[in-house]
Amino acid sequence: MRKHVLLLVHGMGSYVKNDGAPDDTWFNDTAAALKEQYVKYPIVNLQSFEDRFEIVHINYDIEIFKLVLRWQTESQEIMKQSISAAAPAKALVGWLNNAAKLDDNFAWTHAACVILYWFFPVMRQRIKVSVASQIHDALATNQDGPVSQWSVIAHSLGTIVTHDVLQAMDTTTPNEEGISILDAMVPSATVLAMVANVSKILETDSKVYSGVVVPQSLLQRQSACFSYLSCRNEFDPFMRVNPFDPQGQPAWNLAKTNGTFVDAFIRNVHELNTHSFRNYIVNPDVHIPLFEKLVGPNCITAQQAADARAQFQNVPASTVQTGLQQILAKINPQLASTSNINNWVQLAGLFFAQLKANGVDGLGKAAASAIARAAGIVVPPLPGAAAAPAPAAGRPNG
């Protein structure tokens, strides 16, 4: 019998190595973050994490990287030429010279993937087909039989990619019988967990509240997933612009009532990068409903849930608010005041630029101060002195 297939879909950022091969770092970190919470609950942990789940990495950044690498290569070849009359051509492509550089290149590694997905429909189709093929391979029947349980955990940009791909896989019927690609292969996903759900602001060809990627109770036995878990954090800047919030949609309200839709709206800052997967999954209000959906109802007893929530070191809202005011001042609240994709992309760039600038009056400093104050640590006055927790190193992926 097959394990529960758990598809992880990454967000914006860099998920390839310099040679274009997939970089599994985020996927491994995400699985580790999930397992950290998993082992805390005895009934959940009756079956080991590894025995219960077959983790599959869904990587679409490899396609984005292929494209920007071609741009970079072409650009570099043109820039090499010493022909003086070629100056206009060089001016046209010079900005593509570092398109595929992975380190310290936030414009390309973070903003570009959002821009390419949203503004370039042909690239969106390329990514959709690539992701669908990966999902198809993961869910196809093999020598151990068919998949009877599968779920998706998608993060950030991965939420809209997952939505669009599942919508396409569950409505495309390339056979005489008229049976969709998903329906012919597997039952509906057990749970679709959309962490840092940006699918509403980035929706394109299909609408996120009214397609087939909705809780089962909206479309009896016809939807792509049984349960839909949407997570947003008040202190995640990307959740400030047109978040996924189907309030006012009667069917979604009903789904919330019957438990097939869970809207986890949290307030916690446990990492400098409040947009990170780990900053979400540490919160019991995120991982408890997720495990309830993945493992079964009441797999976490009421007492265990109450204890987990009581022990959770949630930074007091007032302290977080103070710390975040500094961050939001940098990010320019006006950007977040309208439901505009351009603002969202600018927000992405600014957020990660601030994140990179930790220790120098940036996001890291502000968030670290907030956390340190909540923990009762004396925080040196801003700016200048070092902040308490170590900042996120390397490339902070969305």
Residue 107 per-residue DSSP state: I
**One of 89, 219, 251, 341 touching another protein (CB under 8 A):** 89
Of 231 and 269, the one with the shorter C-beta distance to another protein is 231
Tell me how many residues contact another protein (CB under 8 A). 93
Q: Is 338 in the site for another protein (CB under 8 A)?
A: no
List 21, 32, 121, 311, residue binding another protein (CB under 8 A)? 121
Say whether residue 3 binds another protein (CB under 8 A). yes
Query: 78 φ, ψ to 5°?
Result: -70, -40
Stretch that binds another protein, among 65-73, 233-241, 242-250, 306-314 (CB under 8 A): 65-73
Residue pair 304/41 in contact by the 8 Å Cβ criterion? yes
Return the residues of window 226-255 that contact another protein according to CB under 8 A.
226-227
Alpha carbons 280 and 195: distance in angstroms, whole number = 7
How far is residue 78's CA from residue 358's CA, in Å, rounded to a whole number?
36
Cβ 12 to another protein shortest distance, Å: 17
Query: Which position among 39, 210, 253, 296 is part of the footprint of another protein (CB under 8 A)?
Result: 296
Residue 285 as a binder of another protein (CB under 8 A): the answer is: no
**One residue of 9, 12, 299, 366 binding another protein per CB under 8 A:** 299
Q: Which of residues 153-192 bind another protein (CB under 8 A)?
A: 164, 167-168, 171-172, 174-181, 183-188, 190-191
How far from chain centre, in Å, is Cα 115? 16
- Residues 193, 290 contacting (CB under 8 angstroms): yes
Q: Does residue 381 belong to the site contacting another protein (CB under 8 A)?
A: no
Instruction: State yes or no: residue 125 binds another protein (CB under 8 A).
Output: yes
Min. distance of Cβ 230 from another protein in angstroms?
15
Burial 43-76 (b: 16+ CB within 10 A, else e): ebbeeebeebbbbbbbbbbbbbbebbbebbeebb
Q: Which of residues 341-380 bind another protein (CB under 8 A)?
A: none
Give least dist CB 91 to another protein, A: 10
CA distance 44 to 358: 38
Task: Choose between 81 and 253: whose C-beta lies nearer to another protein.
Answer: 81
Cis peptide before 383 (omega within 30 of 0): yes
Closer CB to another protein, 48 or 313, in the complex: 48
DSSP string spanning 50-85? HHHEEEEEE--HHHHHHHHHHHHHHHHHHHH---GG
- Residue 65 vs 235, nearer CB to another protein: 65
C-beta separation of 97 from 79 below 8 A: yes
Tokens standing for 309? 């929530």
For position 292 contacting another protein by CB under 8 A, the verdict is: yes
